[in-house]
Each structure stands twice: as structure tokens, then as C-alpha cells.
Amino acid sequence: MTHPLHAASADAAGETTKQQADELVLEAQLQPLADGGVETSRLLSEALRLDPSNHDAQILLERLHQMTVPRWHFPMLADTGRNQAYAKAIAEKVKPGDVVLDIGCGAGLTAMLAARAGAKHVYTCEQQPLIAAAAKEVIARNGLSDRITVIPKWSHDIKIGVDMPEQADVVLSEIVDTVLLGEGALATLTLAMKSLAKPGARCIPESGMLFAQPIESDSLYEVWRPQAAEGFDLSGFHHFATVAQMTPGEFDVCNPRPLGIRAKLFDFDFTNPSMKDASISGNLVCSEAGMVHAVLVTFEMRLTARITVGNGITAKGHWGRTAFLLKHPEAVAARDMISITAQHDTAALSLTVDGIVAPEATSQSDGASTTATGKHEMAASPARVLKLATS
């Protein structure tokens, strides 16, 4: 039986510990996040060490992590197909003695793959301090701290002779979104290949392509363009959703049916990136009848000449999808064409559906298939490419 004095002493110590934890939580709440959340994280972690059930510390630490560590990191790391493709590409391209620059460290997986492939040294950059610190721990646990240096900076801020002793033989990255452009890959790789890499340096990935494809999906339209609820007309709200951004799970639920083969929109050379805007106009050819609800845009990324990854309509993995919604669903017959205009400014993509063109409106001129508006047909075959009109 516990002596009453001992019990009272333990209770008092417990109250003191909880009070100390509460004070740390209050201090954490007053911290600015200019350091990327490092001090806030330290204070909240210490509060939870003192009082593991502290409600405020639990909530605030989770909010901090949600804000500073994007949730897509976790399904990306669990994407076996993506991981295996990168592992094979890195093993093929990285040679013993190479210096590798890995842009966008994350948990450190691609950096460790490069070290395993025989790199003399890997320099991996990560601008988010909490992620950079976690990557250092992951790398240390895998016994690779002597061969991998984590640079807690944007790649744009890396200086040769300061952060890296020499330029890289290989530039490695996976900094793309569902349409390749949204994470600033072109600007980042333009600078990296020019300033941080040796002449003739290898690049993983080597290139990327964007494709467009007409799709039918009642479920997609019902979710993103609900016509009515409880007898009320909701159409006045639809202009807020012209582009559907879907997780893999949401995309699977929509179960889209392709109404034509995909057509290439743009090519991107990551080894020698271009920072020129581009636009293209043309027609997507429907191979079967149906109701067009959206134009799906997907990518294919070539890691090496033999290894590709992507988020096409049947692809599995962590990448989501982007669909450009029609204002109203359009019925099409086989051989009908959907007139579109796509544009990019190297950082973002836009796509406009201009209308439906029936096959009888098509004329032949100089051996090229054009519509009455003079626009080129886009989807005669998966490999057919339109001539880009740069702006």
C-alpha cells in the first residue's frame, strides 16, 4: 500500500510537470514560424515528453506537421511502382565516382538510391528545415551520412565552392505535380543544369510529355457540377470549379471512360529546359460515341530511354489527375472532334474547350487534316505531335 505522503508527493510532481508542459505550449504558440517551425516543434515535443497526453500540444504539433510537411509525401513514399522505376533509372545512370545533386530531398529516398548506385557523394537539398532534419536522421539510420550531405536550402541558393565542392555529374529530381509544371520544375532545372551541373551532365528524369484526352464520367460531373440539391438549382455556383483536381482514390471513384486516344500537347526537355511560354490549338478525335464531360490531362515522364512513369488514365500510383470540365456535357459520335486550346507559362497549364466539330466540317489541305477553322487534328495516333506555337 502506498503511503499517503508518497501519493501526495507524486501528485504534486505530476501537477508541476503538467504545468511545465502547459507553459511550453504557450511559448510555442507565441513563436514565429520564420525558422520553418523548428523551435515550435522543439517546444511542443518537449511538452509532450513531459505530459504525453497534453491535448493542446498534440493538436498544435499535428497542425504544424500538416502545414510544413505536405501529406503527399506519404503516398509517394509508399508508391512501389514509382520507387522501383527511380531505383532502376538511378542504377542505370549513376556511375561509380559520380557527384550527384538530388533536388527535393524529402525523406532522402532518391539520395540513398544514388549512394547505393555508387555515387562518390550525393548532395541533396531540402528547403523545409523540419523535413531536412528528418532526412538527416533517416540517412544516418541507413548508415549513409558519410556519403550524403543534406543542404537545408532551395536549390536556387546553392553555391558551388560553399555548399558543394564541385558541380554535379548527375542531377536527380522528382519535383512535378499532376501536370508536370506546378512545382516549378522547369525553372529549377534550368538553373541547376546551367550552374550546378557539369557540361554534359546526366539528368533524371530526362524529359516529360503532357497529353489530353476526352473522357466521359457522370460521377465526375455529379461531384464537381451538382445541378441541384433538395430541389434547389445550384448552377450559379459552378463557375468556381472549372478544373477538377483529383486524388487517385477520387479518380477511381469517378471511373472515367476514354472517348478517344490521348493526344500529345507539349514536350519538355529537362536536360536542356526551355523557359519559353507555349500554346497549341487543335482537335481531339473521338473514337467512339458518348457524352464528353471533361478533357483529362496526364503526363509521361521519361527517367531514362527505357524507363518511364506517368499518371495516364489506367496508371496506378500516388499521382492524382487533372481534368478540365466542360461548361455543359456534350454528346459526341465516333469521329467527332473536340476543339481545344492549351497554354503554359512554364509554371502552370490552362486548357479551353472551344467546341465540338463534326467530321463533315473537316477539309483536307496540303495533306494535313484540318477543320473548317484551320486547326490541326490532334489525335490521329498516340505519337502524332502538333507543331507548337510559342508566344
**What's the CATH code of the domain at 132?**
3.40.50.150
Q: Are residues 84 and 151 in the same domain?
A: yes
- Check whether residue 263 and residue 378 sit in a common domain: yes
Based on the fold, state whether residues 133 and 62 are members of the same structural domain: no
> Confidence band (pLDDT; 50, 70, 90) for 382?
very low
Q: What is the 3-state secondary structure (H, E, C) of the chain?
A: CCCHHHHHHHHHHHHHHHHHHHHHHHHHHCCCCCCCCHHHHHHHHHHHHHCCCCHHHHHHHHHHHHHHCCCCHHHHHCCHHHHHHHHHHHHHHCCCCCEEEEECCCCCHHHHHHHHCCCCEEEEECCCHHHHHHHHHHHHHCCCCCCEEEECCCHHHCCECCCECCCEEEEEECCCCCCCCCCCHHHHHHHHHHHHEEEEEEEECCEEEEEEEEEECHHHHHHHCCCEECCEECHHHHHHCCEEEECHHHHHHHCCEECCCCEEEEEEECCCCCCCCEEEEEEEECCCCEEEEEEEEEEEEECCCCCEEECCCCCCCCCCEEEEEEEEEEEECCCCEEEEEEEECCCCEEEEEEEEECHHHEEEECCEEEECCCCEECCCCCCCECCCEEC
Q: pLDDT band for position 55 (50/70/90)?
A: very high
Q: What is d(CA 349, CA 374) in angstroms, rounded to the nearest whole number?
A: 23
**Same structural domain for residues 218 and 366?**
yes
| 194 domain residue, yes or no | no
Q: Is residue 299 part of a domain?
A: yes
Same structural domain for residues 63 and 106? no
Same domain (yes/no): 164, 211: no
Half-sphere exposure (CA, 13 Å, Cβ side) for 168?
34
The band of 387, judged by pLDDT with boundaries at 50, 70 and 90, is very low
Domain assignment present for 196: no
Tell whether 123 is covered by a domain.
yes
pLDDT in tens, 256-286: 999 999 999 999 999 999 999 999 999 999 9
Identify whether 193 is part of a domain.
Answer: no
Q: How far apart are CA 331 and CA 353, in angstroms?
A: 14
Residue 82 located in a structural domain = yes
Q: Show which of 126, 150, 174 is a domain's final residue.
A: 174
Whether 225 and 333 map to the same domain: the answer is yes
Per-residue pLDDT reduced to its tens digit, 86-114: 999 999 999 999 999 999 999 999 999 99
- Domain match, 219 and 358 both: yes
Measured CA to CA, the distance from residue 15 to residue 19 in angstroms comes to 6
Residue 152 clears pLDDT 60, i.e. is over it? yes
What pLDDT, on a 0 to 100 scale, did the predictor assign at position 389? Answer: 32
Pick the last residue of a domain from 25, 51, 68. Answer: 68
Which pTM was predicted? 0.87
Judge if 128 and 53 occupy the same domain: no
Residue that is last in its domain, among 53, 68, 83: 68
Q: Determine the average pLDDT of the residues in 235-253.
A: 94
Which residue segment(s) compose the domain that 10 sits in? 4-68
| pLDDT beyond 80 at 10 | no
- Give yes or no: residues 166 and 212 share one domain: no
The answer to whether residues 310 and 379 belong to one domain is yes
Which residue type, as a one-letter code, is found at position 150?
V
Question: How many domains does the chain contain in total?
Answer: 3
**Are 233 and 288 in the same domain?**
yes
The answer to whether residue 381 sits within a structural domain is yes
Which residues carry out catalysis?
174, 183
333-348: average pLDDT: 97
What CATH number has the domain bearing residue 284? 2.70.160.11
Give the angle subtended at the CA of 140 by the CAs of 125 and 162, to the nearest 5°. 35
Which pLDDT does position 13 carry in this prediction? 61
| Position 337 in a domain | yes
d(CA 319, CA 298): 10
